[in-house]
Amino acid sequence: MNFAVIGSPIEHTLSPAIHYANFNSLNLADTYRALHIRPEELGHIKDVIKQYDLNGFNVTIPHKETIMAHLDFIDQRAIEVNAVNTVLIKDNKLYGYNTDVTGYKQAYTDRFGTMKRNILILGAGGASKAVYRAHSELGDDITIYARREASFETFTDQNFQRLSSLQNLKSFDVIINTTPIGLKNEDLYDVMSLSRNKITEDTIGIDLIYNPEKTPFLYGFEDKMVMNGLSMLVNQAIHAFEIWYDNKHEGDYNTVYAALDKKFGGGRK
Ligand code: NAP
């Protein structure tokens, strides 16, 4: 089968490496291309599908929302986060899904279980919506911090507490960074004026960033309580693969994770 990721820019995407690690492990001769599709070219997506004989594709910046107008069916989760990152092509019809939600949820529950918790999400962009949806599905009590009030209105539902400042914070069971702060090793505690004094040895710290492997934010938590974004990244790809194969093939999470962990973490366990 033939797959791709569409986006602009697309040079730095890890998706081909992730999917080929999975194909190779499963002895599949499938292909996966990175295709540079500019916003003005998205209207010709059916020609692109034909040209590369695609069975499915991933969608990245800046097409996750705009692709929705070109689809025949959109999964409920993708509607709820207003973003599609995976498209299945079947009988000339296009089906849209969001595996960032399921990928994050899988990564989180595999690591920390399904216990109901008191969650603080830092940031209110695209990734925040996937994380919010996952924790909503788990029945958690959710607070979202955004620096701009208008950001809260971009969520399709408002079943969360709003926070516009991190001063005088109450305690949370889990704190998740969904902002890019830390990509360049910036200290989130300084940038957001977040005090470490509410973080205990039992507080879970999650950063969606995976490179660097451990951001300054994660250093505020006990080692055994932290998770970076790598398991979400791998799970979202594995879930896309399983959608394309109509769940007839299980993706090889462990092999793909090990390949990426080697790339970003030097093979650390
Ligand atoms: P995005 O849509 O641009 O959202 C970024 C959010 O961060 C916005 O709400 C932005 O607020 C907020 N933000 C930025 N600087 C801030 C600051 N100083 N204080 C408070 N809020 C701040 O980006 P995204 O797609 O959600 O991605 C966010 C991060 O998640 C990136 O690092 C990305 O690499 C990572 N990510 C990882 C995975 C994975 O699989 N591991 C998946 C998706 C994303 P404003 O709107 O006010 O600017």
Indicate the top mutation candidate among 63, 179, 186 to test ligand 1's pocket, ranked by most ligand atoms within 8 A of CB.
179
- Is residue 153 domain-shared with residue 193, that is, in the same domain? yes
CATH value at residue 112:
3.40.50.720
Domain that holds residue 47: 2-97+230-263
Q: Is the pLDDT of residue 133 over 60?
A: yes
Instruction: Specify the ligand 1 atom closest to the Cα of 104.
Output: 40
> What's the whole-number average pLDDT of the chain?
95
Q: Is 64 a catalytic residue?
A: yes
- Is residue 63 domain-shared with residue 180, that is, in the same domain? no
- Is residue 223 domain-shared with residue 236, that is, in the same domain? no
Q: Which of 95, 89, 134 is nearest to 231 (CA)?
A: 134
Query: pLDDT above 70 covers what percent of the chain?
Result: 99
CATH value at residue 8:
3.40.50.10860
- Is residue 152 domain-shared with residue 255, that is, in the same domain? no
- Is residue 235 domain-shared with residue 223, that is, in the same domain? no
Task: Return the pLDDT at 266.
Answer: 62
Answer yes or no: is 156 within a domain: yes
Answer yes or no: is 194 within a domain: yes
Q: Which of 34, 96, 27, 73 is nearest to 244 (CA)?
A: 96
- Is residue 43 domain-shared with residue 80, that is, in the same domain? yes
Q: Please state, in angstroms and rounded to a whole number, the distance separating the CA atoms of residues 47 and 63.
A: 16
Ligand 1 pocket, residue 211 CB under 6 Å: no
Structural domains counted in the chain: 2
Is 58 buried (19+), middle (13-18) or exposed (0-12) by CB count in 10 A? buried
- Is residue 106 domain-shared with residue 222, that is, in the same domain? yes
- Is residue 92 domain-shared with residue 118, that is, in the same domain? no
CB 226, CB 255: distance < 8 Å: no
Q: Is the pLDDT of residue 231 over 70?
A: yes
**How remote is the CA of residue 124 from the centroid of ligand 1, in Å?**
7
Residue nearest to atom 8 of ligand 1 (CA): 125
- Is residue 196 domain-shared with residue 91, that is, in the same domain? no
Helix (H) / strand (E) element for 3: namely strand 2-7
Q: pLDDT band for 261, please (50, 70, 90 cuts).
A: confident
Answer yes or no: is 269 within a domain: no
Q: Is the pLDDT of residue 68 over 60?
A: yes
Residue nearest to atom 28 of ligand 1 (CA): 179
Task: Return the pLDDT at 265.
Answer: 74
**How remote is the CA of residue 249 from the centroid of ligand 1, in Å?**
32
Answer yes or no: is 268 within a domain: no
Cβ within 8 Å of residue 228, ≥6 positions away = 206, 207, 208, 209, 210, 213, 214, 215, 218
Q: Which of 58, 53, 71, 60 is nearest to 1 (CA)?
A: 53
Q: Is the pLDDT of residue 267 over 60?
A: no
- Is residue 54 domain-shared with residue 120, that is, in the same domain? no
* 165-197 per-position pLDDT tens digit: 999 899 999 999 999 999 999 999 999 999 999
- Is residue 136 domain-shared with residue 176, that is, in the same domain? yes
Helix (H) / strand (E) element for 59: namely strand 56-59
Q: What distances in angstroms separate CA 6 from CA 38, 45, 64, one per listed residue?
A: 9, 10, 10
Ligand 1 pocket, residue 125 CB under 6 Å: yes
Q: What distances in angstroms separate CA 57 from CA 1, 37, 43, 63, one per listed residue?
A: 11, 12, 15, 12
Q: Please state, in angstroms and rounded to a whole number, the distance separating the CA atoms of residues 245 and 3.
A: 11
- Is residue 161 domain-shared with residue 179, that is, in the same domain? yes
